[in-house]
Structure 1
Amino acid sequence: MRIEAMRNLGPATARMLAEIDIISDEDLRNLGAVEAYHRLKFRFGRHVTILALYAMEAALRDCDWRDLNPDAKVFLRRQVGVVESE
């Protein structure tokens, strides 16, 4: 499935992910949301917020990013070295 078809990931995110060679759900699943976030941050800097991480993780879980439980969000933030939410 193409990134654009995944829940939470719109055209802007799909374009950014394509620039780091993630064009399908399989690409994102193989890399993982945390590594994809690191690569997006490296490529796009401040233009990528923690919400992108939540959106990618939720897309992999096929749920709305707002439905990620607080513990999952804390875990994800710790994985990318963000102590407080952006």
Structure 2
Amino acid sequence: MSDAAIDTLPGIGPVTQSRLEEVGIRTIKDLRSIGSVEAYRRLKFMLPRQVSLNALYALEAALRGCRWLDLPPDVKAALQQQAKAIDEAFRRGGITRCAL
């Protein structure tokens, strides 16, 4: 795992880097240890209207070293299911700061 800054991953620009840092993800090692789904959940809690499924795709693709458009269909389908569950929990109020 790398202690390199998160913005050294492909597809992670300054806005995403700043948002990730706000939720405690500063290095590649941080992102790898919690995974793309948990990172998405944290971002979704912080910015529910600004964070979309594309953010989850981008995070997963960054960890895999590819563009989000190149993610395999089965990976995208699994990520869609994860995002749907997070979105539903958020609407029900099931996401709390304590879970961070």
Same fold (TM over 0.5): yes
Deviation at 1:66, TM superposition (A): 0.9
> Which is bigger in relative contact order (C-alpha 8 A, separation at least 6)?
1
Count how many residue pairs are aligned between Structure 1 and Structure 2: 82
Letter in 2 for 1:76: L
Q: CA deviation at 1:65?
A: 1.0
Partner of 1:38: 41
Structure number with greater Rg is 2
Query: Equivalent of 2:83, from 74, 80, 83?
Result: 80
- For residues 83 and 71 of structure 2, the distance between their equivalents in structure 1, rounded to whole angstroms, comes to 16
Partner of 1:23: 26
Separation in structure 2 between the aligned mates of residue 21 and residue 3 of structure 1, nearest angstrom? 11
Structure 2: gaps (5+ residues):
86-100
Aligned residue number for residue 97 of structure 2: none
- Which runs of structure 1 show a deviation greater than 4 angstroms over 4 or more consecutive aligned residues? none
- Aligned-partner Cα distance in 1 for 2:49–2:74: 24
> What is the alpha-carbon distance in structure 2 between the residues aligned to residue 64 and residue 45 of structure 1?
23
Q: How far off its partner does 1:80 sit?
A: 2.2
Measured against aligned partners, the alpha-carbon deviations of 1:36-72 in whole angstroms (never above 9, x if no partner) come to 0001000111101111100100111111111001211
1:41 match: secondary structure: helix
1:72 partner amino acid: V
Match of 1:66 in 2: 69
Using the size of structure 1 for normalisation, the TM-score is 0.90
User: Share of identical aligned residues, percent?
Assistant: 48
